[in-house]
Amino acid sequence: MPPHIPTLTLHGPPYTIGLEHGQQAASLITKNIKTYTAFFHETANLSWSDAKTRAATFIPTLKTLYPAILDEIRGIADGSGLDFTDILALNIRSEIALTNYDNTPTPPKSQPQVPEITDGCTALAQLSGDGSRLVLAQNWDWVADLADGTVVLDITIPGSESQGNGDGHGDGGGKETKRLFTLTEAGLVGKIGLNSSGLGVCVNALRCGAFDVHRLPTHIMARYILEHGAGVGSAVEMLGELGGACAVNMLVADMEGAFASVEVTPFGISVLRPSSEEAVPGDGFDLERGRGPSFVAHTNHVVTPARGFPRGAIYDRPAANSFSRLQRVTELARVDAERGVEVCGEAVYARLKDQEGDPYSICRGLPVNARGMERMTTLASVVIDMDVVEKRARGFVTVGRPCEEGLQRMEWEF
């Protein structure tokens, strides 16, 4: 039977939002802690107690950069009957699990072989040829046990501060009620989502040893953008100023037709944008870099050259299938362009169903005889279809592998 996930409708100040989250999802949060207890042991040789201790090192940073989220995390803990650091550890799971490597060109001989464990996500954004339609989409691949621990948060925040996007879009400041949808794990404050300003965010994990406890962690950064961002320009500014506790890619898009893939690291950001026929001979599609005319994609490896970041070199430890998925999703965009297929949500969703190279395909399947944390599959897909002319955004989430039938489907609209 296909999985089914709940939508938690949350409203109010940060602590109240967290309290309602914890109360509505207490059993799911407890289950996720059990999953991540095993995950941290397998990927970082850490006990759950060790993970909580590591997570607590971020408290001073959060007090300085995003104090409201500490109130929300405290609310989740109180609502679910768990400790504050239990919920904090869930929200800093990428920093705990995906940074236990040397940030060097090649791993030292003494370092154990890295297991092929990373959020195996494939994300893309594409603008139609006439500029009237922009689609942002992603498959979220993760351990199968999280299928029963996933939620959608429908959050309304009265009087939230919104920032202009830096390109003349948005209101440029002031207080407004902000609503946002985010597909995430129970107990986490954010991940993939869309806000009422028409800003969408997709997230690709990057496995890398670079680490900075003075910057916002991945999932908390995604929530910060959804709560405070009004467009791509402001999102990129926020990522450069605050993001990068560990390496991650965030693909952002807005209803003005702007979009960018941003590799965020402790050593600064690199903004990846579409290519052109002048820059790439032929049809303009660069399969290895995931770019094309009015198109950009990202998977789970760093595309920017190692020394292309402002404050130092970045050396990641990707799985081989990240490269093949990036080439494949770019090839599918090129094929659609050659065939004159309209850029729209359903056409892009069809690409997310692709099974070439199964089980390590865009629509990821469970490897035969997979054990423990190797049990990765596509848990959900998100497609956000933006009408640039009418300034409207419609999105949907399907739960499970998109190449299968009978999936739960939830709609988002602003």
pLDDT tens-digit series, residues 211-243: 999 999 999 999 999 999 999 999 999 999 999
pLDDT tens-digit series, residues 126-182: 999 999 999 999 999 999 999 999 999 999 999 856 555 444 334 444 578 999 999
Which structure tokens are listed for 44? 């970082």
Residues 224-234, buried b or exposed e (16+ Cβ, 10 A)? bbbbbbbbbbb
**Number of domains, the chain:** 1
Is residue 227, in this structure, part of any structural domain at all? yes
Q: Which amino acid is at 67?
A: P
pLDDT at 167: 43
Cα 28 to Cα 112, 148, 186, 388: the distances in Å are 32, 7, 6, 37
State whether the Cα torsion 287-332-276-197 is positive or negative: negative
Q: Which residues of the chain have pLDDT under 70?
A: 108-119, 160-174, 276-279, 372-373
Is residue 80, in this structure, part of any structural domain at all? no
C-alpha to C-alpha distance for 220 and 296, rounded to whole angstroms: 24
pLDDT at 3: 83
Is residue 23, in this structure, part of any structural domain at all? no
Is residue 218, in this structure, part of any structural domain at all? yes
C-alpha to C-alpha distance for 206 and 319, rounded to whole angstroms: 10
State the pairing for strand pair 7-11/150-161.
Answer: parallel
Is residue 144, in this structure, part of any structural domain at all? yes
pLDDT at 118: 54
pLDDT at 135: 98
**Full domain range(s) for residue 193:** 122-413
CATH value at residue 367: 3.60.60.10
Q: Say if CB 357 and CB 321 are below 8 A apart.
A: yes
C-alpha to C-alpha distance for 38 and 51, rounded to whole angstroms: 11
Is residue 179, in this structure, part of any structural domain at all? yes
Which structure tokens are listed for 144? 């199968």
pLDDT at 367: 85
pTM of the predicted model as reported, rounded to 2 decimal places = 0.94
pLDDT at 245: 98
Q: 86: which DSSP letter?
A: H
Secondary structure class of 76 (helix, strand, coil): helix
Question: What are residue 152's phi and psi, to 5 degrees?
Answer: -110, 130
C-alpha to C-alpha distance for 39 and 98, rounded to whole angstroms: 11
C-alpha to C-alpha distance for 122 and 373, rounded to whole angstroms: 19
* Residue 402, preceding peptide bond in cis (omega within 30° of 0): no
Is residue 375, in this structure, part of any structural domain at all? yes
Q: Which residues contact 155 (CB under 8 A, 6 or more apart)?
A: 10, 11, 17, 179, 180, 181, 182
Is residue 63, in this structure, part of any structural domain at all? no
